[in-house]
Amino acid sequence: MGVSEILDQIDREIAQLQQARALLSGGAIKSGGMISTKKAGKKKRNLTPEGRKRIAEAVKRRWERQRKAASAK
């Protein structure tokens, strides 16, 4: 066995270990054998000021209904 054959065998074993690690950690494998463990997350959603205002008003109405219901008991 020559040095180049040993190096080829080691490279194959490294590639197999990287694939196994990627499967266990939930990452994806790129074509070059590199592991990408970065997960594709959801895009952050931003509320408009009008949307925030509507939500705040709805919460205040809800609190008011709960206070009225509690005082009626």
Q: Which string of DSSP letters, residue by residue, matches 10-65?
A: HHHHHHHHHHHHHHHHT-EE-TTS-EE----PPPPP---HHHHHHHHHHHHHHHHH
Both tokens of residue 72? 């009626």
The answer to whether residue 14 scores a pLDDT higher than 90 is: yes
What pLDDT is recorded for position 41? 73
Domain definitions of the chain by residue range: 3-36+48-72
Residue pLDDT, tens place only, 16-63: 999 999 889 876 555 555 555 556 677 888 999 999 999 999 999 999
Please state the pTM of the whole predicted model: 0.39
CA distance 25 to 37: 7
| More confident site: 11 or 25 | 11
